[in-house]
Amino acid sequence: MITTTSADGTTVLAADEGRGPAVLVLHPGSDDGRTWGKVAGLLAARFRVVRLHRRQYRLDLTVGSPFSIAQEVDDVLAVAKVTGEPVLLVGHSSGAVVALEALVASPSTFAGAVLYEPALVIGPSLGGEAVKQARAALAAGKPGKAMAIWLRDVIRLPPWLARLGGAYVAVRPRYRALLPRQLDDSDALDQLGVRLDAYARIETPIILLTGDRSPAHLGERLDALARRLPHAEKVVMHGKGHAANQTAPGKVARIIETLADRVL
């Protein structure tokens, strides 16, 4: 385990395994890094794999308002400093947006990046009214309904699948506890806004990872980013969706290794 301190004095925590060149993983929403455990275990045979526990999802931290993406970037840079350079950055969903902002803030810190379906804003807000409705349901004591709204209207899952996801969250204490943080995460992404012009200045080699079974809007966001990044390669995982880190960890690990072997 890595314990260090961010720019604002907050303690930063990260799982740490393996030896070799460093791979720093930024997990997606509703998670604490454990969904990347299988990928990390595979990579740890050759690399030092560090999984940051993003402060947005740290239940030990009390928040009065959502943590900003900028604060999360400070956490990333603090951990990268501990691991040493060069670092290969891996980000998933909202974690991939944090990764993009870290690449903008400190490009020399990172040798490359793998960005798995970044949930970036490319036009209208990502959450908007849907997040407000989800918060209202949560305040009314209906976490399952809140998650169903978020899954249906933000992630854009089919209604039946969103209801199923909501029912699952309603009976799982861990996910119920993370739900307010997920809504905060959506708000933080919207507050960041459209940043494509900033990302166009990133010179770091990047793999943009996607699955052909993911919600269509994630592919649209990825393509908008791909058109602006000067050194990006798009890799499509056939038959996979937004959770290939869990359903196909070997495939995801091999893709990361491909870039790591080039840049580390």
- Say yes or no: 48 and 66 in one domain: yes
Using an 8 Å Cβ cutoff, are 100 and 59 in contact?
no
Q: And the tokens for 39?
A: 């990928």
- Say yes or no: 78 and 38 in one domain: yes
Determine the pLDDT at residue 65. 66
- Residue numbers of the domain that contains 133: 129-189
The count of structural domains within the chain is 2
Mean pLDDT of 95-114: 98
Going through 56-205 in order, the beta strands assigned E by DSSP cover 87-92, 110-116
CA angle centred on 153, ends 151 and 159, rounded to 5°: 65
- Say yes or no: 169 and 199 in one domain: no
Last residue of a domain, one of 189, 208, 228: 189
Q: What is the pTM (predicted TM-score) of this model?
A: 0.96
* Residue at 149: amino acid letter: I
Helix locations, 44-142, DSSP H: 69-83, 94-105, 129-139
* Residue at 110: amino acid letter: F
Tell me which of 4-18, 60-74, 129-143, 199-213 is least confident: 60-74
C-alpha distances (whole Å) from 9 to each of 5, 68, 75, 98, 228 are 6, 15, 10, 19, 35
- Say yes or no: 11 and 57 in one domain: yes
3-state secondary structure of 15: strand
Nearest alpha carbon to residue 256 among 107, 87, 64: 87
- Band of the pLDDT at 128, cuts 50, 70, 90? confident
Determine the pLDDT at residue 85. 76
> What CATH number is associated with residue 230?
3.40.50.1820
- Say yes or no: 217 and 94 in one domain: yes
- Say yes or no: 180 and 218 in one domain: no
Beta bridge mates, 235 = 209
Q: How far apart are the first and last CA of the chain?
A: 22
- Say yes or no: 55 and 92 in one domain: yes
Please list, in sequence order, all residues whose beta carbon lies within 8 angstroms of the beta carbon of residue 34, skipping any fewer than 6 positions away. none
- Say yes or no: 78 and 106 in one domain: yes
In terms of phi and psi (left: phi > 0; alpha: psi -120 to 50; beta: otherwise), the region of 20 is left
Helix then strand then coil, % of the chain, to nearest 5? 50, 15, 35
- Say yes or no: 93 and 212 in one domain: yes
- Say yes or no: 111 and 201 in one domain: yes
Distance CA 201, CA 237 (A): 27
Nearest alpha carbon to residue 194 among 225, 216, 153: 225
pLDDT tens-digit readout, 24-67: 999 999 999 999 999 999 999 999 999 999 999 999 997 666 79
Determine the pLDDT at residue 63. 64
Mean pLDDT of 211-223: 96
Please list, in sequence order, all residues whose beta carbon lies within 8 angstroms of the beta carbon of residue 172, skipping any fewer than 6 positions away. none
Last residue of a domain, one of 173, 189, 205: 189
Please list, in sequence order, all residues whose beta carbon lies within 8 angstroms of the beta carbon of residue 167, skipping any fewer than 6 positions away. 144, 148
Last residue of a domain, one of 140, 161, 189: 189
Determine the pLDDT at residue 64. 64
Determine the pLDDT at residue 127. 87
- Say yes or no: 106 and 133 in one domain: no
- Band of the pLDDT at 84, cuts 50, 70, 90? confident
- Say yes or no: 9 and 118 in one domain: yes
C-alpha dihedral over 231, 215, 87, 230, to 10 degrees?
Answer: 10
pLDDT tens-digit readout, 139-172: 999 999 999 999 999 999 999 999 999 999 899 9
